[in-house]
């Protein structure tokens, strides 16, 4: 049997056999994690399918030395909170985040800047298309709100609101990464 790094390397090259092996190895962990937040087992099963669809769709960006397990749970968490918000046990989520924030630790020691940058890029790619475009124009091309508004024929207030929502989404998900590293 191949180790995780070999499987991920083969997956990134498009191997359906590697994908099947990875699915077999991780589906139960994704399912159990989903059940922490979802009360309905059918929704949890649906999340598992969607997580692995996302893994397959982004396979060429996954590197063998990445924290694959962490990536799986980030995708899972995002799908749960984005698509099934009403089914989520939000109180449990809030308690886990508060507990993670209360514990003192050095996240830089656990996630190097390169990995963090990759996770942020993954999060940016999950933004709705217009919000992602506005965010990238602001943060990567360093355009002012006014310039973005003119370029996209929007009001400055709309641009400001879109960037605010993007930052809020990224912050929430970064808190989740911190949570993962305190329990994994």
Helix 90-102 × helix 16-37 angle, to 10°: 100
Which pLDDT does position 157 carry in this prediction? 95
Residue predicted with more confidence, 153 or 42: 153
Domains parsed from the chain with CATH numbers: 1-88 (1.10.1740.10), 92-184 (1.10.10.10)
Residue predicted with more confidence, 129 or 36: 129
CA-to-CA dists, residue 154 to 28, 128, 134, 146, 151, angstroms = 45, 16, 10, 9, 8
For the cut 50, the answer to whether the pLDDT of residue 87 exceeds it is no
Which pLDDT does position 151 carry in this prediction? 93
Instruction: Give the residue carrying structure tokens 């769709």.
Output: 57
pTM: 0.48
Helices (H), 3-112: 4-12, 16-37, 41-57, 68-83, 90-102, 107-110
Which pLDDT does position 108 carry in this prediction? 44
> pLDDT per residue over 124-174, tens digit each?
888 999 999 999 898 888 888 999 999 999 999 999 999 889 888 888 777
> pLDDT per residue over 110-129, tens digit each?
445 556 667 778 888 889 99
């Amino acid at each position: 049997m191949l180790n995780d790094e070999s499987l991920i390397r083969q997956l990134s090259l498009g191997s359906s056999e590697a994908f099947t092996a990875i699915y077999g190895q991780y589906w139960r962990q994704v399912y159990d994690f989903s059940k922490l937040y979802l009360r309905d087992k059918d929704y949890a099963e649906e999340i598992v399918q969607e997580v692995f669809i996302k893994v397959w769709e982004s396979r060429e960006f996954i590197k063998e030395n990445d924290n694959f397990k962490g990536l799986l749970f980030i995708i899972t968490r995002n799908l749960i909170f984005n698509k099934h918000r009403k089914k989520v046990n939000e109180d449990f989520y809030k308690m886990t985040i508060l507990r993670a924030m209360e514990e003192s630790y050095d996240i830089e020691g656990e996630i190097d800047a390169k990995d963090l940058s990759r996770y942020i890029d993954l999060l940016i790619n999950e933004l709705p298309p217009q919000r992602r475009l506005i965010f990238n124009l602001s943060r990567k091309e360093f355009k002012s709100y006014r310039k973005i508004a003119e370029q996209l024929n929007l009001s400055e207030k709309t641009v400001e609101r879109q960037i605010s929502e993007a930052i809020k989404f990224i912050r929430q998900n970064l808190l989740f990464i911190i949570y993962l590293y305190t329990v994994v």
